[in-house]
Amino acid sequence: MKKRNSIGRSRFITPYLYIAPAFITLAVFMYWPLLYNIILSFFQWNFISPVKNFVGWENYKILLSDNVFSRALINTFKYIIGILPFTIIIPLFFAHLVASFAKSKAKRLYETLLFIPTAVSFAVASFVWVWMFNPLGGVIDRFISLFGSTQSIPWLSSATLAPIAVIIVSGWRLLGYYMIIFTAALLTVPAEYTESAYIDGAGAWKTFWYIKWPLISPTTFFVFITTVFFASSQTFIPIHILTRGGPYRASANLMYVVYEYGFRYFNIGLAATTATLTFLIFVLVTFAQIKVSERMVHYDL
Amino acid sequence: MLGQSKITKNHIFTIIRHLFIIITCILVIFPLFWMVSTSFKAPSELFTKDLRLIPHNPSLINYKNVFSEWPVFRWILNSAIIALGMTLGRVLTSILAGFGFGYFKFRGKTLAFLLVLWSMSIPFMTTMIPNYIMVSKLGLLNSHTGVILPMLGYGFGIFFIRQHVMSIPPSLFDAAYLDGSNSWQILWRIVVPVIKGSLLALTVLIALEAWNIFFWPLLVLTRDTMHTLPIGLTAFQDAEAGTFWGELMAASTIASIPMVALYIATRTYLIEASITTGLK
């Protein structure tokens, strides 16, 4: 039987032709650049000069003795932790709530409205929020002034609030996408499971915690991984548009620092070094995630 | 009076839940409402002290300015070309490779597939500088190709298609093979029609990303006639004249309409596709 299943499926060269277009582009624009980036981290170069100076570990020494890198690293984790509620807790809560409504026009409307921000680009999202955060007549201040306060909140110019503003914008933009993912995941939980739990006298909370949560754990894990990824890369856009990494780099993450070194100061060596260290941290994080998932994720449905 | 006694605790609870979600919907959608509302405000209405949710004298002046003072048509065209090229390219390479991995057995398959999976977790920032150097050496700065080319290999798409190909019953393939079909015919006559719903969802997801892509075009497309719509938005912030908020919100509205419409139209496919991918 096994043999029959694979008739015609082991031609010598054909399979390679199918994967070639994707694989070659990945090799040329991903695997090779990754390697080349590591090589560049050992040189001093400014994009223009015809010679690259080999400097050994110098770039690494500069970077690790300076607090630009460590602060950006801390900010990167701050963003991951700040954005996680917007990609796991809140969307799961609302997906669960909306799923509990009977099929109706209202339910469809709720879903559609909550999903919409995801269709908007990060750039549009950022600009709209910059306008809402505006200290001169921004809508948030105007709304607060209805309650008698005349103070304006320095969302983008305060070192404490600027990262929070970036988190709000990213969270708002990502919420809908993860609601789709959790809505889909909750639909896969067999109704018999929840019904029998209900008959056994488990309340809504217990049913969720002991039945649904373990069953959707592969999805939650997927969401966790993509959040780490999004929070460290896509946040570039709100950072760039809201604060340019400021004030005093208080809102700059690692990606922003790579961009600054590379395309503002044309210090390719430091940019490549920052990117290389980021990559190493990512490998560690991915490894840790796989280890954690082996213990906490249930794939047995 | 009789009706009131029928309102049980359950009913009240349901009403509260509805109210709660309605308030949430309003909060979530408010920024977009504010964007559209601002886009219809004349300069005199931008910085009022009152809340002014809806302009007192709606005006089209911002839309007029956007098209007359900035090369917005050009930006829309650039965005469309890049979105189309990137979407077609990614979908096509993903279909081919996903089918390759899902259908065939070949030497090195496991390693190649692991490399594809791994590509999903390589942050773009770790490859962007070499990519920039490469694209600039190829003379592709300020070109659509320069934006599209490095974006073509798409690990998630390959994984997504492979999962779907593997869920197709093998008997379907065998029957076609015995009828004399080769793998190319099997791909286009069997696989693609069978998975077309999910394929549509994948296409929409890629199109959303491609239309909205910001960072890489920001590096590659520096000339303002080459800007895409999201990059063009930065032009409304002027170092000397300040930000043209009305025009910026009008351009943002224009940039958002196609994708929001596409999204609403294909929402059910997106949910279904997320279920069938299984994410497992």
Q: What is the pLDDT of residues A166-213, one digit of tens each?
A: 999 999 999 988 998 898 888 888 888 888 887 887 777 888 888 888
- Give the closest of A26, A47, A225 to B119, CB-based: A26
Residue B151's pLDDT is: 93
Tokens representing A88 are: 């796991």
**Do the chains contact at A180 and B259, CB–CB below 8 Å?**
no
**Across A188-202, A227-241, A242-256, B138-152, which has the greatest mean pLDDT?**
B138-152
Tell me: pLDDT of A300 over 70: no
Q: How confident is the model at residue A2 (pLDDT cuts 50, 70, 90)?
A: very low
**Do the chains contact at A16 and B106, CB–CB below 8 Å?**
yes
* Least reliable range by pLDDT among A58-72, A136-150, A207-221: A136-150
Label residues B70-97 b or e (16+ Cβ within 10 Å = b): bbbebbbebbeebbebbbbbbbebbbbb
CA A282 – CA B169 distance, rounded (Å) = 37
Any chain B CB within 8 A of the CB of A51? no
**Do the chains contact at B150 and A29, CB–CB below 8 Å?**
yes
Higher pLDDT, B147 or B180: B147
Q: How confident is the model at residue B161 (pLDDT cuts 50, 70, 90)?
A: very high
- Residue numbers in B near A259 (CB within 8 A): 125
Question: How many angstroms separate the Cα of B261 from the Cα of each of A31, A62, A116, B255, B266?
Answer: 36, 49, 9, 11, 9
Residue A8's pLDDT is: 56
Closest CA to B36 of B260, B280, B273: B260
Which residue shows structure tokens 């099997």? Answer: B186
pLDDT mean over B116-145: 91
User: Pairing relation of β-strands A43-44 and A53-54?
Assistant: antiparallel
Distance from CA of B122 to the nearest CA of A (A): 7
Higher pLDDT, A144 or A183: A183
Residue B273's pLDDT is: 77
Window A:261-290, CB contacts with B under 8 Å:
262-263, 268, 271-272, 275-276, 278-279, 282, 286
Higher pLDDT, A293 or A24: A24
Residue A80's pLDDT is: 94
* Least reliable range by pLDDT among A72-76, B118-122, B184-188: B118-122
pLDDT mean over A89-109: 88
**Do the chains contact at A94 and B21, CB–CB below 8 Å?**
yes
* Cis before A247? omega within 30: yes
B48-91 confidence digits (pLDDT tens): 777 888 888 888 999 999 999 899 999 999 999 999 999 999 99
**Do the chains contact at B24 and A114, CB–CB below 8 Å?**
yes
**How would you class B262 by CB atoms within 10 Å of its CB: exposed for 0-12, middle for 13-18, buried for 19 or more?**
middle
Residue A99's pLDDT is: 86
Residue B2's pLDDT is: 47
**Do the chains contact at A18 and B104, CB–CB below 8 Å?**
yes
* Residue spans per domain, chain B: 2-59, 68-277
Tell me: pLDDT of B36 over 90: yes
Closest CA to B146 of B233, B219, B255, B72: B219
Closest CA to B227 of B89, B71, B86, B62: B71
* Least reliable range by pLDDT among A291-295, B60-64, B155-159, B232-236: A291-295
Q: Which residue of A has its CA nearest to B94?
A: A22
pLDDT mean over B169-193: 89
**Do the chains contact at B48 and A137, CB–CB below 8 Å?**
yes
Q: How confident is the model at residue A9 (pLDDT cuts 50, 70, 90)?
A: low
pLDDT mean over B227-256: 89
Label residues A65-104 b or e (16+ Cβ within 10 Å = b): eeebbebbbebbbbbbebbbebbbebbbebbbebeebeee
Q: How confident is the model at residue A38 (pLDDT cuts 50, 70, 90)?
A: very high
Any chain B CB within 8 A of the CB of A116? yes
Q: Which residue of B has its CA nearest to A5?
A: B170
Closest CA to B46 of A154, A125, A138, A242: A138
Q: How confident is the model at residue B279 (pLDDT cuts 50, 70, 90)?
A: very low
A45-83 confidence digits (pLDDT tens): 988 888 888 998 999 999 999 888 999 999 999 999 999
Tell me: pLDDT of A301 over 60: no
Higher pLDDT, B138 or B242: B138
CA B158 – CA B181 distance, rounded (Å) = 23
Label residues A238-268 b or e (16+ Cβ within 10 Å = b): bbbbbbebeeebbbbbbbbbbbbbbbeeebb
Question: How many angstroms separate the Cα of A88 from the Cα of each of A79, A288, B17, B136, B142?
Answer: 14, 19, 20, 40, 39
- Residue numbers in A near B212 (CB within 8 A): 120-124
**ipTM confidence:** 0.87
**Do the chains contact at B104 and A9, CB–CB below 8 Å?**
yes
Q: How confident is the model at residue A10 (pLDDT cuts 50, 70, 90)?
A: low
- Residue numbers in B near A121 (CB within 8 A): 211-212, 214, 230, 255-256, 259
Residue A44: strand, helix, or coil: strand
Out of 1.10.3720.10, 3.40.50.720, 1.10.287.130, 3.20.19.10, the CATH code matching B68-277 is 1.10.3720.10
Q: How confident is the model at residue B280 (pLDDT cuts 50, 70, 90)?
A: very low
> Mind listing the domains of chain A with CATH numbers?
1-40 (no CATH), 58-296 (1.10.3720.10)
**Do the chains contact at B215 and A258, CB–CB below 8 Å?**
no
Q: How confident is the model at residue A101 (pLDDT cuts 50, 70, 90)?
A: confident
- Residue numbers in A near B93 (CB within 8 A): 21-22, 25
CA B63 – CA B72 distance, rounded (Å) = 10
**Do the chains contact at B112 and A23, CB–CB below 8 Å?**
yes
